[in-house]
């Protein structure tokens, strides 16, 4: 049973537009959420996180929104750049547990 | 879908002993696996990249003599924490490169993690 779901395996966005990557979770004990970015032939690198006490966290072009009632979070990238093309993983944890990852969404930013 | 398993899921050991953690790709071959350490409420720290048939590549600051990695086959990588100390207590998570699985080129599959507690 997947506790963290990224239902869109891929997404294409034009350069300069907004990219919105979505993530849903089922475990109400999750209280910390992270987004990772992965380029080919490299391991994932941390991008941005959010604690459940917040509903928004912003870092430059990247903003993560958390809707606890819907058990949904999203990553917004604006403006999107070709270098943002990568696979994005959503991850969640609750209490003293390992991170649980989604299956990833492949973002392609088209120039 | 592709599955990565880790064994054991939870281990408690005495200080000074060594602990081996296994990471297996169950239905695909993984030429590259990654080992991470996770601290509470923190993101993953990449420890090393494990390539089948060759020596692991360690990240800066990670002691390769303390964290021994062996990637002996295309489906198995092991991490051995030698002479474990309480400060080594953490979650250790592996992931496997998805290259080689039909229809998948550059994604990654994460294991469920191993909780190490050193007393």
Other beta carbons within 10 angstroms of residue B18's beta carbon come to: 12
Query: What are the chain B neighbours of A46 within 8 Å (beta carbons)?
Result: 43-44
Name the minimum distance, in Å, from the CA of A11 to any CA of chain B.
14
Please give the share of chain B, as a percent, with pLDDT higher than 70. 87
Query: Do the beta carbons of residue A3 and residue A99 sit within 8 Å?
Result: no
Q: Does B101 score more than 50 pLDDT? A: no
User: Cα distance from A107 to chain B (closest Cα, Å)?
Assistant: 12
Q: Mark out chain A residues that contact chain B at CB-CB < 8 A.
A: 32, 34, 36, 38, 40-41, 43-46, 49, 51, 87, 89, 93, 96-101, 103-104, 106
Q: Report the pLDDT averaged over residues B45-72.
A: 90
DSSP A56-104: EEEETTEEEEEETTTTEEEEEESS--GGG-EEEEEEEE-SS---EE---
| pLDDT digit string (tens) for chain A, length 111 residues | 678 999 998 999 999 999 999 999 999 999 899 999 988 767 788 899 999 999 999 999 999 999 999 999 999 999 999 999 999 999 998 866 778 889 889 999 999
pLDDT number for residue B99? 56
Q: What is the pLDDT averaged over residues B61-70?
A: 94
Q: Which is nearest to B110 in space by CA: A93, A91, A22? A: A91
For residue A10, give the chain B residue with the closest CA: B107
What's the CA gap between A83 and B70, in Å, rounded?
33
Cβ–Cβ < 8 Å for B71, B56:
yes
Question: Does residue B25 contact residue B45 with C-beta atoms inside 8 Å?
Answer: no
Question: Closest chain A residue to B38 measured between Cα atoms?
Answer: A98
Contact between A43 and B46 using a beta-carbon 8 Å cutoff: yes
Query: Distances in Å between the alpha carbon of B7 and those of A80, B21, B66?
Result: 40, 6, 19
Strand-pair partners of B85? none
> A81: buried, middle or exposed (CB in 10 Å: 19+, 13-18, 0-12)?
middle
Q: Which of B93, B118, B98 lies closest to B22, judged by CA?
A: B93
């Amino acid at each position: 049973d997947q506790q963290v779901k990224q239902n869109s395996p891929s997404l294409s966005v034009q350069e300069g537009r907004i990219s919105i990557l979505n993530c849903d979770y089922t475990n109400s004990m999750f209280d910390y959420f992270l987004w990772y970015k992965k380029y080919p032939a490299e391991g994932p690198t941390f991008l941005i996180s959010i604690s459940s006490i917040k509903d928004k966290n912003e870092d430059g072009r990247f903003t993560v929104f958390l809707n606890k009632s819907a058990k949904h979070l999203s990553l917004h990238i604006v403006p999107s750049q070709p270098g943002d093309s990568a696979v994005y993983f959503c991850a969640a944890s609750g209490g003293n547990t390992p991170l649980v990852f989604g299956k990833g969404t492949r973002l392609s930013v088209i120039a | 879908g592709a599955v990565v398993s880790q064994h054991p899921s939870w281990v408690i050991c005495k200080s000074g002993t060594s602990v081996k953690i296994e990471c297996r790709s169950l239905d695909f071959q993984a030429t590259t696996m990654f080992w991470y350490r996770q601290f509470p409420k923190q993101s993953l720290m990449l420890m090393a990249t494990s390539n089948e048939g060759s020596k692991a590549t360690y990240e800066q600051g990670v002691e390769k003599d303390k964290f021994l990695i062996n990637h002996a086959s295309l489906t198995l990588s092991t991490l051995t924490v030698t002479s474990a100390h309480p400060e080594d207590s953490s979650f250790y998570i592996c992931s496997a490169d998805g290259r080689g699985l039909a229809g998948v080129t550059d994604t990654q599959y994460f294991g469920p993690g191993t909780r190490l507690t050193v007393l």
